[in-house]
Amino acid sequence: MSMTNLSTKLWHIQQCPLFEAMSTEEKAAVGSASEMIELPKNKVIPPPPASDPSLYVVKKGHIQLSYTDLSGKEAVVILLGPGDVFGSLDPEEAPFGEHCRTVSDACICRISQFRFDGLLRKYPDLAYRLTKFSMLRINRLQVRLAEMMMRQADQRLALALLDLDRQVGRELPDGRKKLGLSLTHADLGKLIGTSREMVSILFKKFREKNLVEVEKGWIYLVDCEALRRLADNQEP
């Protein structure tokens, strides 16, 4: 992990919605109070010690938050991207679930509880924005839970692909959408609560229906409208 220089740190802070309403002086204060960490793909983010709880902000890339049971089975809770906040400022809580892992090269901002408390005292509006961000994430988790409970595996996969398109999709000249994250069938299985084998079966069906294509590990969405109909329980 390497520290970015001050100018790069301030640039990332300026791009973050959590801090966008702050003045240049206030953003500089956040920069001074934070540690910017760059991480490669597939890196587990080590939790801070219990004596030093911290808040994290995703600056670049994507982070996978997941829980693991005693048997080692992993369930992805949510996929976070630039501007998302995770972590805990409560020393009695687990820092951020079981673990977090980067699914692409990433840059994150870490602010310890002590330093963040100082920022809150100086800039009270920051507490409101943090609360708003937290409520938005709770809402996303509630929606994901409802999707897991109410949709079949093929519907969940279609919905996950559409959500990934919203986050990291790029339209190509031929009309297809290329997803900007290289995800394996095992990754997608954890994301939608099913097995790698089931995702492989579903991808075969999706390809046969000309909904998706896979080339050199990259996923291309061919027919987003049909995927949307499938996600809404309407046969494409």
pLDDT digit string (tens) for 129-164?
778 877 877 787 787 777 777 889 999 999 999 999
| Residue type at 231 in one-letter notation | A
Q: Report how far apart the first and last C-alpha atoms of the chain are (Å, whole number).
A: 45
pLDDT over 70 at 202, yes or no: yes
Question: DSSP letter at 49?
Answer: P
Residue among 35, 57, 48, 130 nearest 95 (CA) = 48
What is d(CA 149, CA 175) in angstroms, rounded to the nearest whole number?
33
What is d(CA 131, CA 113) in angstroms, rounded to the nearest whole number?
15
Domains of the chain, first to last? 2-148 (2.60.120.10), 152-231 (1.10.10.10)
As given in the structure block, the two tokens for residue 35 are 């540690």
Provide the sign of the torsion angle of the four alpha carbons 170, 176, 182, 183, taken in this order: positive
Number of H helices, E strands in the chain: 8, 13
What is d(CA 62, CA 168) in angstroms, rounded to the nearest whole number?
9
As given in the structure block, the two tokens for residue 160 are 């996950």
| Residue type at 134 in one-letter notation | S
Q: 33-84: per-residue pLDDT in tens?
A: 888 889 999 898 877 777 778 888 888 899 988 877 777 677 787 888 888 8
Q: Could you tell me which residues come within 8 angstroms of residue 182 by beta carbon, excluding any fewer than 6 positions away? A: 217, 218
